[in-house]
Chains A and B, each alone.
Chain A
Amino acid sequence: MDNLIINEGFPLLSFLIFLPLAGALVMLVFPGESFARYWTLAVTSLVAICSLPLVSGFDPTTAKYQFSEFHLWIPRFHINYVLGMDGISVLLVMLTTLIMPFCVLASWKYIQKRVAPFMVCMLIMETSMLGVFVALDFVLFYIFWEFMLIPMYLLIAIWGGPRKVYASIKFFLYTLAGSILLLVAIIALYLKNGSFFIPDMMWQQYSFTFQVLVFLSFFLAFAIKVPMFPFHTWLPAAHVEAPTAGSVILASILLKMGTYGFLRFCLPITPDATFALAPYVLWLSIAGIIYGGFTALAQNDMKKLIAYSSVGHMGFVTLGIFILNIQGVEGAIMQMINHGVTTGALFLCVGMIYERTHSRELSVAAGVGKYMPWYVTYLAFFSLSSFAFPGTNSFIGEFLVLAGTFKENVWLALAAIPGAVLAAAYMLRLLQRVVWGGTNNPDQSYLKDLNLREIVTLAPFLLFVFWIGLGPQPFIDLMHTSVVSLLDQLHNWQQQGLALR
């Protein structure tokens, strides 16, 4: 309890979580199409605006959980309604609230049938995603974590592409199957501690076997969500079939929940198991980076290409987390945000071309540069960002991760380098094809360039690409104290363990 800074005033976090849900309920009563669009845009924008005080009021000098709320919920099982936010989650919360209005904008024309149910799903997604990042009670966390599957499943299954049935069921089953052992682990932790309060579970003396079992069940759930190689097979299917907004949410926010889970739960709850098993996770990350890169290189479907590139990028994130030093972890968190911004924007770009050509094939979209100058300008910047060109956001993240890795293990870092090269190769291939194409381009003269709505949708992404790329310090400041405190505790733990031995 003493690591919570209780928010005595207006319960801002609860308000942000449940505002979208309330908005969704309103739409059940008024299911008009254009009302649904404007209403959802209004609600998500309101959430985005109301979330700004979270940053301005955030105290970056403490590692405690801020804006906390604590209410008894199910006393019989010591389940409480606890919310709180620290340096690790603040950026992810902001990413979620800020990206949602643009997802709505991106669906403005794309979604033509059953608009109101689509918007309801989007709002429920926002509620559960925010809930996952700020819940400090394990049951509350699990409820948000699982509940999210329903709207995401519906987003893919109803508004998805031709193989939506396969993709949506695979997504649902894969992620649910991963998290059932998480539930058992949560219960086991509760029985050890007598409470579901997450901070109480951290830094406790569990036996090594217990820690390994808990770590493995956590790992399965989170690795599927990330997704880490070899648990990634649901991702390309889901990405390709999901509607644009679904892909953006999936790439920008859902995948981060896995890596957030590693940071929030695996490291502090099972430190000994983390030290013991980190090498395996690291090499799995390398495998993901290389595998994602090579597979992306061979894709002709643009969405698939970006989906596989996600596997590679998320490999960098897990690499940074499990290298267990400050550069690594901070780089990983930066990379989580960067991937959210860049890949989200790339999916939006693909969606825009899909709305025009009704195809995601590279060959169909070849050579549009001449007719869509605005579009290719955006695409070029986001592609550069995707392969971590200096000056863009991803450079900061990947650089920090690699710097951290070099400090600990040179071989590991050298093994990750080809991944960075591959990223350049596949992104430049995509860019070259789309902008110039070859000698036998299809006739693209019917294409219209981006309209104002689309330009506005992409502009903030570009802003963040360069803001983080050129001035990352404010972002790092937000997380620094929490990361340092986490790693300090982790290393003290290790030294105590050595001393005892």
Chain B
Amino acid sequence: MAILPELTVLTGAAVFFVLSLFKRLEATQVKNTAVGFGVLALVAAVISLTIEASLFFDSYRVDFFSQLFKLMIAFGLAVAVIFGRELKDIDEAVRPEYYLFLLLSGLGLMMLVSSVELITIFVALELSSFALYLLVPMRSDAKGMRLQMEAGIKYILFGVMATGFMLFGMSYIFGLTGTTYLQDIVTGLQQAPQPAALFAVLMVMAGFFFKLAVFPMHFWVPDIYQGAANETAGFIATVPKLGAVALLIRITTLNPGGDMTIVYLLMFLALCSMFYGNLSALVQTDVKRMLGFSGISHAGFILLGLLTLDPGGYAIAIYYIAGYVVMNLACFLVLCAVSREGENLAIEDLKGLHKRQPALAFILAVGLFALAGIPPFVGFMGKFMLLTGALSAGGESTIYLLVVILAAINTAIALYYYLSVVRVAYTTDPEDRPEVVVDGLSKAVGVMLVVLIIIMGTMPTRIIALADSAVRVIM
């Protein structure tokens, strides 16, 4: 029972494996099965929220930390499946396979957040990554489009390289401490010689920087977002980042010997991510590319939570990534609905959205304003807390102050490109663009996301308390 969410998703994957063997399938059946399993996984995650267990020779721990992340992963998976269930740009013939790999990727992430041993971490991470590598090129090439192939190749090459860094780091850790269990590594690394220990930890982090899209492991993001189908991009942009944050928190707690080097390095990466992401996003015309670059800058913000090296900071990072997932899902929901045949959307294609589908325009505006960090949405509260946490961690240090000021300035830069999209959606006429049809379920999910964005932004106490208790479990 301890691994109920994992089992549910695994069952789903198995069912789709069987379905993929049949030649003729009703598209609606596949669709409904997928939505069903998405919801089931969410229910299973809720049920097993408070379960605690230790499995597989203590390499797999089920505790509140992992279960909270599993809940968020299941939520993201369910929402992504629901709003992306039309799979407009995926061949009908491969849809069962698509869901098979999507669920396997979700399974890998759920396993990842429970793993407390290096080999287990590696296996779980690869399970989720390889499934994603396959999802990207699954986009239909009926219209002669080869973009997805390029994206797929890029994704796998960069991904394998990042994994290589991580394995390299893991080998160092094993060499220094003689164990692969995280809890023993913490003590082992205290006596390990510097800078070898630091180097090892950073290399392991690099693998997760890749997932989270932190500078300098960010370069895959825009091309993969653009090449993948909208639904796939919506998943890649949100759910895997939850796993990355969970593991980054686990690894940051390994920080050997209270060394400040890692803090300064995280600061540097955070600022580079923010500036690189925001400045590049300013000139994008493709909505998905823009969201990709904005994701890079948000990854920088999350590092602000990690570099406090303090449980409170980690809890805020969890709160922020949860908020980020919700905001981003809201934006991708609109994207998937507006795109008629699954084609990529330029910002111009959103023209007159307020007339073509007012509800979607509203959801998009809330999502983007939230990403921009305007109160009272969750993006503001998250940024505010991250800045407060970082500044208080620094005490009187001017470096921390400088980092916080630069981060705040980034908020202002970012506003421009979010605002431009809202402007196009709200102030222009549709010209000859057709109306957007959206089904009731997607609309309801969109409204729910909006409500979540506002509630998380105005009443964060409860959620922060949850994240706090989750972090306390692993410290």
Contact = CB atoms under 8 A, between A and B. Distances in A.
Interface of A: 73-77, 114, 139, 142-144, 146-147, 149-150, 153-154, 157-158, 164-165, 168-169, 172-173, 176-177, 180-181, 183-184, 187-188, 190-191
B474 to A, nearest CB: 19
B196 interface: no
Given A158-B426, A183-B387, A187-B388, A173 B404 contact: no
A143 B380 contact: yes
B460 A146 contact: no
Contact of A150 (B354, B374, B420, B464): B374
Given A169-B416, A169-B419, A181 B405 contact: yes
Nearest to B468: A76
A187 B404 contact: yes
Contact of B391 (A73, A146, A191): A191
A238 to B, nearest CB: 15
B115 interface: no
Given A142-B375, A190-B388, A180 B411 contact: yes
In the complex, which of the residues A73, A147, A150, A188 has the most CB atoms of chain B within 10 Å of its own CB atom?
Answer: A150
Nearest to A74: B461
Contacts of A168: 423, 427
B356 to A, nearest CB: 14
Contact of A172 (B384, B387, B415, B465): B415
B426 A157 contact: yes
| Ranked 8 nearest A-B pairs via Cβ | A143-B375, A180-B408, A177-B412, A157-B427, A146-B375, A147-B375, A187-B388, A187-B391
Contact of A165 (B380, B408, B415, B423): B423
17 contacts: A74-B460, A114-B354, A139-B384, A143-B375, A147-B374, A150-B369, A153-B419, A154-B426, A165-B423, A168-B423, A168-B427, A172-B419, A180-B408, A180-B409, A181-B405, A181-B408, A187-B391
B272 interface: no
A173 B426 contact: no
A184 B376 contact: no
B408 A147 contact: no
Interface in B392-425: 392, 401, 404-405, 408-409, 411-412, 415-416, 419-420, 423
Contacts, number: 79
Nearest to A114: B354
B466 interface: no
A178 to B, nearest CB: 9
A472 to B, nearest CB: 37
A194 B4 CA distance: 43
B385 interface: yes
A153 B372 CA distance: 14
Contacts of A139: 384
Nearest to B312: A76
A168 B388 CA distance: 30
Nearest to B390: A187
A113 B392 CA distance: 49
A432 B464 CA distance: 63
Nearest to A76: B464
**Does more than half of chain B's interface fall in helix, strand or loop, or is it mixed?**
helix
Given A173-B416, A180-B409, A187-B388, A165 B461 contact: no
B353 to A, nearest CB: 13
A437 to B, nearest CB: 36
Nearest to B409: A180
B460 to A, nearest CB: 6
A374 B391 CA distance: 60
A69 B379 CA distance: 27
A173 B387 contact: no
Contacts of A146: 374-375, 380
A419 B461 CA distance: 52
Given A165-B423, A172-B419, A184-B408, A149 B391 contact: no
B427 A164 contact: yes
Nearest to B416: A173
Contacts of A142: 375
B386 to A, nearest CB: 10
Contacts of A183: 384, 387, 408
A191 B404 contact: no
In the complex, which of the residues B384, B388, B416 has the most CB atoms of chain A within 10 Å of its own CB atom?
Answer: B388
A173 B412 contact: yes
Contacts of B385: 77
Given A74-B460, A164-B427, A165-B423, A188 B384 contact: no
Nearest to B373: A146
Contacts of B392: 191
A441 to B, nearest CB: 36
A172 B369 CA distance: 12
Contacts of A76: 312, 461, 464-465
B308 to A, nearest CB: 13
A190 B404 CA distance: 14
A348 B73 CA distance: 54
B387 A187 contact: yes
Contacts of B387: 183-184, 187
Given A114-B354, A147-B374, 9 more contacts: A147-B375, A157-B423, A169-B420, A176-B412, A180-B409, A183-B384, A183-B408, A184-B408, A187-B387
B427 A158 contact: yes
A144 B375 CA distance: 8
Contacts of A164: 427
A257 to B, nearest CB: 15
A149 B415 CA distance: 12
B388 A147 contact: no
Interface in B438-470: 460-461, 464-465
Given A76-B461, A139-B384, A191-B392, A169 B423 contact: yes
Interface string B110-140: 0000000000000000000000000000000
Contacts of B380: 143, 146
Interface in B329-347: none
B277 to A, nearest CB: 17
Nearest to B424: A165
B395 to A, nearest CB: 8
B404 A184 contact: yes
Nearest to A179: B412
Contacts of B415: 172-173, 176
A188 B416 CA distance: 26
A52 B365 CA distance: 36
B439 to A, nearest CB: 20
A355 B436 CA distance: 35
A2 to B, nearest CB: 26
Contacts of B427: 157-158, 164-165, 168
Contacts of A150: 369, 374
B405 to A, nearest CB: 6
B423 A180 contact: no
Nearest to A178: B412
Contacts of B411: 176, 180
A249 B380 CA distance: 25
Contacts of B388: 77, 187, 190-191
A103 to B, nearest CB: 21
Contacts of B465: 76
A180 B408 CA distance: 6
A187 B369 CA distance: 22
In the complex, which of the residues B375, B387, B405 has the most CB atoms of chain A within 10 Å of its own CB atom?
Answer: B375
A180 B405 CA distance: 8
A440 to B, nearest CB: 38
